[in-house]
A and B are shown apart, each in its own frame.
Chain A
Amino acid sequence: MTKTRVAVDVGGTFTDICIMDEETGAIRIEKTASTPHDPMQAIMNGIEQGRIDLPDVSMFSHGTTVATNALITRRLPRAAMVCTEGFRDVVEIRRANKEDLWDTYKDVAKPYIPRRDRLTVRERVDATGAILQSLNEDDARRVAEVLKKREVKAVAVCFMNSYVNGANERRMREILAEVLPDVPVSVSSEVMPEIFEHERFSTTMANAVCAPVVVNYVSRLGEKLADAGYKRDLLLLHSGGGVMTPASVRDFSARLAGSGIAAGAIASRFIGNLCGFPNSIGFDMGGTSTDVSLAYAGEPRITKDWYIEYGYPIRFPSIEVLTIGAGGGSLAWQDEGGSLRNGPQSAGAHPGPACYKNGNKTATNTDANVVLGRLGTSLAGGKITLDPSLAREAVHDTVAAPFGMELHEAAEAIVSVANANMANAVRLLSISRGYDPRDFALVAFGGAGALHGAAVAKELSIPTVIVPPNPGVTSALGCLLVDVQHDFSDSFMADASSVAPEDMEGAFGRMEAQAVERLTHEGVAEADMALQRSVEMMYQGQWRALSVPAPAKVESVSALVDAFHAEHEREFNFRREDAPVSIFRVAVKAVGIVPKADLPKHQVSAHTPQTVGRREVWFEGRAHDAALYQRDDLKAGATFSGPAIVEQFDSTTVVPPGMAASVDAFMNILITTKG
């Protein structure tokens, strides 16, 4: 019996299941309608629909939106926070800033745990870690009893300066455990042992409120899979781009808050690497938005500055994804200053673009693409038929008439504005971080990514566009290609010139011991463990640190300082050799390598593929006679040139005039943007 690997990506509309034959590497995809009230149902439906034999599954990994949705909708169980006396409002005061500076009627949302459920105890640790006041145990028991009466389902323990000494927090947890043995407790010094109380408390708060939701979901799903014969651990994709087992979910539930969004970025990086582009930009364009991510030298770009709701940071390292409101359904409009705009408002899935015949009369990107002939009128293998006359009408009324443009000119204007907005998003993630887009490949996926990818790449002088075999379900592929991963960090504040390598070695050693322990707990064999060290540094007096990789044995701190100067110059265009450098934090990424099956490689033989027809397609102000291909007909080694359109079940690829395309051994289409 051949073994299979299964990855499930639950999206808002569809649940995608990616099934890989371990021997051949062959991949098949099942798509089933999502069941938002209980996402598990769609998963079980998909398993049945895909005739997956769970006893034969060697790995089941899952990207879930359960935590994200719970935070967004605020359907959260009652949770409480225990704070140092005088500091119950840290998460409500936040950093006091606003997302929308000018709109006085738009507020930052309230914290996940309301003020009434934030209680205090007497205790205090100072900035050096000295205990000024031990936990007052009468206070602690009193608070625990109150929380028991209130029947809270989770507790966050958040004390001042606990990042240097978590003893009082841990004692508080012990007392809570005595009184509330079944309630999960998130302790700030363990969840996120970092300086700055709001960021640490906020992460801990998100972790606490997610815990009951996620633990419940994961254990129910785990049981169902086990009942059906799955014998291994369910693997859950987290925001950092790795997976964790249910054993870690209870303690780090908020790491799942970025689960869904990470999958696409992982897949994009994988495909880039596969095609020989360790530098790649992920361009995932869907119906309402576009997610942009970046991998450099084979590694995804990681950020710690992210959140589900503005004002409440979740400081777990996460794959950096920039989302902008530009998708197939984005609306074109003229503002009062007379400017042509595109998005962020969207026609959504319903009513959808005008050509969907559901009553929307405003032109969307999809309508413009239909008018230009870039998008055909029969999609999803004929399941969806678009009405081109409604698309023309919408483009005419929304843009052509008010701006005095010809119809095709107007449609092209709509698409150009959308492309320029998306290009600006890519710029923010690349150029403004010191990366030159010319050194990257653009991986275009999502339902609309391949329609716009070539034009966006050209705008940015990106030489190559990669369109994976199933652009619409690429994220599910991302869930399949993961390792177990945990991130550890510790404060290490010191002047670089006065640090002894042994001290730093000691700090790394402590984290690595924890890392090995956790990986072992998750069943990772020692041979499959990989530990990656990094150090965060800054020029003394600066406020933000830069991370540089550190060797497996630290023998010289000055080598790290040199690496910091170089990284500072790469990212910010200047260095200060003469200025003292501070060390801020040390971190370890612990990876439990999951052996990967290889994707099937096809024999490449150069040939010109058969067209299935020709169509009039508009580019740069005039109609072109474009070749039409079926993706399924394109074999490895096929080469063709634009203008061309490639249609497949879940996506359409546009190759503009002057560009050349070829199909590689992994069945990706590679488009060269320079003629």
Chain B
Amino acid sequence: MNQTPETGKSLDPVTFEVLKNSFITTVDQMAEQMLRTCYSFVIYNRDFSNALHDAEGNSIAQGNYDIAVHVGTLHNTCKEVIRHFEGDMAPGDVYAINDPYAGGTHFSDVRLVRPIFDEDKLIGFSQSNGHWSDLGGSVPGSFDVTARDMFREGMRITPVRLFHKGRFCSDVANLIAAQTRDPASIIGDIHSQAQATHVAEREILRLVRKYGRDQVTRGMEEVQDYVERAVRKRIAELPDGTWETVDYIDRDPTGGEGMIPIRIKMTIKGDEITYDFTGSHPTIGSMYNSAPGATFSAVVAGTKTFFPDLPLNSGFYRMIKVTAPKNSVVSAEWPVAVTGFLMPFEKIMNAIFEMWSKIMPERAIACAFNLEYLLAGGRDARKPEKPIFMFYEWLPGGWGGRNGKDGADVTTACFGTGLMSQPNEGNERVNPTRTTEFQIKQDSAGPGKWRGGVGVQKTSLLLEAEGAVMSYICDRERAVVWGVEGGLPSMPHGLTLKRAGSDEPTWLGSVFSDHPVHTGDEFARPTAGGGGFGDPLERDPKKVMEDVIDDYVSVARAAVDYGVVIREIDRDLCAFEIDEAATEAKRAEIRAARTDWARSDPQEVSRRYKAGEIDALDAIRQYATILDWETGEVLPKTTEQFRESYEKRTIAHWS
């Protein structure tokens, strides 16, 4: 706290601090405006960000509650707008862009960018990015997992003018809205976002009047230098070194069995960090690819997690270098489909969590559950006019166990911690669905000395509907959420469907598109808990018993996963007891055998699974084997990859 600040700083400390805070307050005001006026329920549930930029398009401030996934991409789209309109911008203009191939995320994230002029001098930009409810394409919500290129995904908006000198270009706006399933909301969101950028213009001009143009533009540069200085200083204090890891996407639907590796080598040298993705898999035949802008964003979001207190702007990006092989799953180019970029995104974040956990053990964390996103649509036959309904929803799950602390229970996905889950009463009012269950999933947490957070299960019934189809965007059905430091994995993601009149649920897994569903069908979606941290046999048996009392953990799995034998005395009074002797014996038994279990013949595991002797949790946690969860067949290459991870992250840490 007492080092001398660098010399040559041109703003006095007070003006600097005032401008820095005012920039952030301005972006928070933009957020407030959007939240109160938006139409897209995705935006309403906080899938949006705002930013201020300098005249070159660099980010100078992002909001306090902006979601992680947009970090590190907003400057790209601002710069792309500048490239298109340089010399042809006027006060009152607003432009739209959603282009992932120009550094954006995916089509759904539409950004509105407004140039800010002081008299006739361009001094900066404000940008408002919101996830629109639909952008056309083959399926409601514009998430077609089978898309291999952008042409069936939805509308790509390269920079286009939506307001010209304050006049709304309704022709262009209507053209855009007409490509979507929800044109009225799209027009509403254009107004909502345009006004948010206007709020920023007003505030920046107020600052200009008070401090003068030069001071404000200088402030825009200095806030970036400030963040850069703070991050470089912290990185310089860390030892130089290289860390490597790999995480996986489940599969390439157009390829053979086997998981899709994303390899990262991180090098810290002096005050710089390099992330090298050499060895990552080529692009795959689904929309689960990431373009370079989104990959950079994932790197920034993962890294930023270890510097939670620092403000975010382009200064943060200056010491980070990313290299990736051309046309890999993390560096896709036009026209490869990238709408599902969040799948590689979360793998990158978790891999970065793992590497930084070694560097900062006091902030260590195991793997978090994977984002899951359900999109259903059709006609709502409850009403005589049978209007189109669109039901999109994501669920929270568990985050990884931590060093000295269990993982966070039921928390929104790591790609966007600001995101909110949706109320069931809202669902039921708007869509022909009824929720029959929305509760914590027992035994979903990855066991560990510090267990992962718990996930949930939501089960819904489709009511009167016609022509309804369902798509499911998820992953880690096979690349199951992993533990670290000896902790165990949690459980596979995947949806099961029970047809009307049938008692037999069908496992549809974690990725499918355009699946027809009918009135009376019931679909259940669990989310995984977080991975465990540390050896579960070292967990305090009292903590295990508390988890049993709260039904987070079953009595049966307390014994299997933790070796803790618990007896029920009176459930009505929450009275349980630990059988100390039996626990000691059970733990000794597990300790002696578990390494062999995890290396046992996968075919034998498959046989026992099919015979009903063991379940999926046993196969994963005790036998490190990945099966086709519907048929029980072994997935040999996947199991081999999974075991490599299990050996490194789990077995190697058992004493």
Contacts and interface: CB of A to CB of B under 8 A. Distances in A.
Real complex partners, A and B?
yes
Interface of A: 86-90, 92-98, 100-108, 114-116, 126-127, 145-146, 149-150, 160-161, 163, 195-199, 333-342, 402-405, 412-413, 416-417, 420-421, 424, 427-428, 431-432, 493, 539-544, 571-574, 576, 579
Contact of A539 (B188, B305, B421): B188
B13 A403 contact: yes
Contacts of A404: 4
9 residue pairs, one from A and one from B, having the closest CB atoms: A338-B5, A96-B396, A337-B230, A86-B437, A102-B308, A543-B44, A95-B420, A103-B308, A432-B29
30 contacts: A89-B439, A92-B440, A95-B420, A97-B412, A97-B418, A97-B421, A101-B67, A102-B305, A102-B309, A102-B417, A104-B308, A108-B408, A126-B428, A127-B428, A149-B572, A150-B574, A334-B1, A336-B234, A337-B229, A338-B3, A338-B5, A340-B13, A402-B3, A404-B4, A416-B18, A417-B14, A428-B29, A539-B39, A544-B37, A571-B36
Contacts of B434: 126
A333 B438 CA distance: 47
B417 A101 contact: yes
Contact of A115 (B12, B305, B550): B550
B407 to A, nearest CB: 9
Interface in B408-464: 408-412, 417-421, 423-426, 428-429, 434-440, 456, 459
Contact of A104 (B39, B309, B399, B418): B399
Interface string B281-295: 000000000000000
B198 interface: yes
B472 to A, nearest CB: 19
A341 B17 contact: yes
Interface in B529-571: 549-552
B188 A93 contact: no
A399 to B, nearest CB: 8
B453 to A, nearest CB: 9
B1 A333 contact: yes
B456 A101 contact: no
Contacts of A105: 363, 402, 405
Interface in B1-50: 1-6, 9, 12-14, 16-18, 20-22, 25, 28-29, 32-33, 35-39, 41, 44-46
Contact of B439 (A86, A163, A339): A86
B37, B203, B304 interface centre (most CB from chain A within 10 Å):
B37
A293 B41 CA distance: 30
B64, B429, B573 interface centre (most CB from chain A within 10 Å):
B429
Contacts of B35: 544
A432 B402 CA distance: 39
Contact of B420 (A97, A539, A574, A579): A97
B226 interface: yes
Contacts of B574: 116, 150
Nearest to B41: A543
Given A339-B17, A428-B29, A195 B426 contact: yes
B68 A101 contact: yes
Nearest to B394: A96
Contacts of B408: 98, 104, 107-108
Given A163-B425, A431-B29, A572-B36, A339 B13 contact: yes
Given A89-B456, A102-B308, A572-B33, A115 B428 contact: no
Interface of B: 1-6, 9, 12-14, 16-18, 20-22, 25, 28-29, 32-33, 35-39, 41, 44-46, 64-68, 184-185, 188, 191, 195, 198-199, 203, 226-227, 229-230, 233-234, 304-305, 307-310, 353, 363, 365, 396, 399, 402, 405, 408-412, 417-421, 423-426, 428-429, 434-440, 456, 459, 549-552, 572-574
Contact of A86 (B4, B5, B305, B438): B438
A493 B428 CA distance: 14
A541 B387 CA distance: 14
A542 B188 contact: yes
Contacts of B36: 544, 571-572
A114 B426 CA distance: 25
B188 A541 contact: yes
A402 B2 contact: yes
B199 A424 contact: no
Contacts of A150: 572-574
Contact of B551 (A115, A127, A405, A493): A115
B349 to A, nearest CB: 11
Contacts of A342: 17
Given A336-B234, A539-B188, A97 B304 contact: no
B37 A402 contact: no
A338 B199 CA distance: 29
Nearest to A572: B37
Contacts of A103: 308-309
Nearest to A434: B33
